[in-house]
Amino acid sequence: MTQGSQDKPKFTVLSIFAHPDDEAFGSGGTLAELVRKGHKMTTVCATNGDVGEISDPALATPENLWQVRQEEMRRAMTVTGIKDVRFLGYRDSGMDGTPDNDNTSSLFQADPAKVEAEISALLDELQPDIVFTHDPTGGYGHPDHVTVYRRTLAVINAMTGKRPHLYYVCFPRENFKRLWHEMTDAGITPPFAKEQLDDIGSPDDFITTVRDVSDFVEIKKESLSHHQTQIDPNGPFGKLAPLVLTAWMSTEYFYLDQPNNGETHEDILSDLV
């Protein structure tokens, strides 16, 4: 942490997510705000999102999707204002239970010690004050989200020196329920079944930090729009009324994990300067 103008602390912030676009919906506004307040930012994708959707065959093929998604990520981060964008290069492991889970190049199959060594090297190099990553549920149980959470937590738990504030980006279960009802009422088929609603998302009492990012929501939306292969205009989110979608995107939710060494971390994200 360095002292900026007016002695306001300037943080070094490392985001570690599984796929290009994972940063967007849950933390895009906060990342844009941190950039504009002069904090030092790095974003890391563990995989290239190789097996994600292709919204329009003109944009990519299954063979070059990994390159297209890297480019989309770089363009998205240019809008957000983050220049330091890195990829660990693992293959996307696909949704839970799909054959891509078994691919030997996938993050899911990677040697945990190797992934942890890579995350550890990032922490040594950057010395972040804040780390953002997936929450323990992975939002909706994606194996790569859960793997990135587990590896990042293991590395931070093993640190002997000063530890970063570890924030999980959360998608509250209550919001999934509200969204399901809003979509159903509007005649839109939600992307998840009613039977899933008690299982997906972060438990509501898990959330420590709720952030109003409405001042940054236009940047967030523009950044997200560069993940073009992942955006289906005819999908459930594309069908939501623009003002409704903007309202959903204007609040972000985090869980501040406490260190396992007896230290107490203050919620430095709730009071950003």
Q: Under the rule (CB under 5 A), what is the footprint of Zn ion?
A: 18-19, 22
Shortest Cβ 19–Zn ion spacing (Å): 4
Compare residues 163 and 227 and give the one whose CB is closer to Zn ion. 227
Q: Which region, left, alpha or beta, applies to residue 49 given φ > 0 means left and ψ of -120 to 50 means alpha? A: left
Query: Which of 12, 6, 16, 29 has its CA nearest to residue 223?
Result: 29
Shortest Cβ 156–Zn ion spacing (Å): 20
Provide the token pair at 125: 């190099």
Residue nearest to Zn ion (CB): 19
Compare residues 19 and 91 and give the one whose CB is closer to Zn ion. 19
Those residues with Cβ within 8 angstroms of residue 160's Cβ, 6 or more apart along the chain or in another chain = none
Compare residues 1 and 71 and give the one whose CB is closer to Zn ion. 71
Shortest Cβ 73–Zn ion spacing (Å): 12
Shortest Cβ 127–Zn ion spacing (Å): 26
- Number of C-beta neighbours around residue 117 at 10 A: 12
Shortest Cβ 171–Zn ion spacing (Å): 11
Compare residues 11 and 108 and give the one whose CB is closer to Zn ion. 108
Provide the token pair at 26: 């849950």
Compare residues 40 and 143 and give the one whose CB is closer to Zn ion. 143
Length of the chain: 273
DSSP 164-197: PEEEEEE-BHHHHHHHHHHHHHTTPPPSS-GGGT
